[in-house]
Amino acid sequence: MIAVAEPNPYLANPRWVVAEQVADAARRRFPAGVLAIGVHGSLAHGDDTDTSDVDLVVVTYKPGSGPRPVTRRVDGILVDLGVVGADEYLQHARTLSTSWPVAADRYVTTRPIYDPNGWLERLRDTHLGRLADAKSLEFTTLAREAWCRAASAHARAIRLTEWYETDTALLMIGESRLSAAMVVGLLSRTYFRNSADAVKRTGLAGVDMTELGAVLREQAKELANRGRPVDATVSQIFEA
């Protein structure tokens, strides 16, 4: 019996074809600079659609040794090419911030296109190790910062509505929803695929200003219960 090779399912996906082409071109042009190349986002998760972008990351041995970051359209497909030095990327993976709920996915779910040394696994393990060492109050402190951003954007949205600046108010509501979603993600140590996924999974996608205000009040209570109240005296502002 003659063995028949299984067809590669990625070859039928035009986004994977473009990703492979861009990765091959990067390796040819910068053979000594590229350490690893991977995709993240919907393509890495395997649920991309005809409207999905190609999110690529090129990891270089040192800063400036690879291509320039760029966003262009190739064969009708939007390609977002990120470039980062290996040491810098590992430092990012060790850093927790208010945007952690939407940043973590690219550390743990990047699918390699070119990674001969398994560097992307090291990136994932570095981030997971940082999470394992993080204390609860560290996440709560970040959640409080995200809450302040949400409350500020919410207040601006109310003020802009009173001034009949409806379009700008809608932008502020969106910003407030996303920051409130970051609060949820940080308090529960949950990361999301992207900003849209964050507000959807936290139930904040369709809330209006009144409902959002109620959410923020409940979050303020929870932060106080966890030892990181949003309100403070002047002297408390300078306390660790």
**pLDDT tens figures, 180-198:** 999 999 999 999 999 999 9
CA distance 139 to 146: 10
DSSP assignment letter at 9: G
Picking from 236, 233, 213, 234, the residue whose alpha carbon sits closest to that of residue 151 is: 213
C-alpha separations of 109 from 73, 81, 104, 148, 212 in Å: 24, 17, 8, 29, 31
Residues contacting residue 57 through CB under 8 Å, at least 6 positions apart = 37, 38, 39, 40, 81, 82, 83, 84, 106, 110
Quote the crossing angle between the two packed helices 100-108 and 166-188, to the nearest 10°: 60
CA distance 99 to 142: 9
Q: Are 70 and 81 in contact (CB under 8 A)?
A: yes
Query: What are residue 56's DSSP bridge partners?
Result: 39, 81
Q: How far is CA 151 from the centre of its chain?
A: 21
Written as six digits, the tokens of 29 are 């042009």
Instruction: For residues 213-235, give the mean pLDDT.
Output: 96
Picking from 107, 133, 132, the residue whose alpha carbon sits closest to that of residue 119 is: 107
Q: Where are the alpha helices (DSSP H) in the chain?
A: 14-29, 42-45, 86-94, 100-108, 119-133, 136-162, 166-188, 195-201, 209-225, 234-237
DSSP assignment letter at 47: -
Q: Are 16 and 45 in contact (CB under 8 A)?
A: no
Q: Evaluate the CA torsion angle 7, 27, 114, 99 in order and state its sign.
A: negative
User: Would you call 11 helix, strand, or coil by DSSP?
Assistant: helix
**pLDDT tens figures, 71-113:** 999 999 999 999 999 999 999 999 999 999 999 999 999 999 9
**pLDDT tens figures, 136-149:** 999 999 999 999 99
Question: pTM here?
Answer: 0.91
CA distance 192 to 182: 9
**pLDDT tens figures, 23-67:** 999 999 999 999 999 999 999 999 999 999 999 999 999 998 899
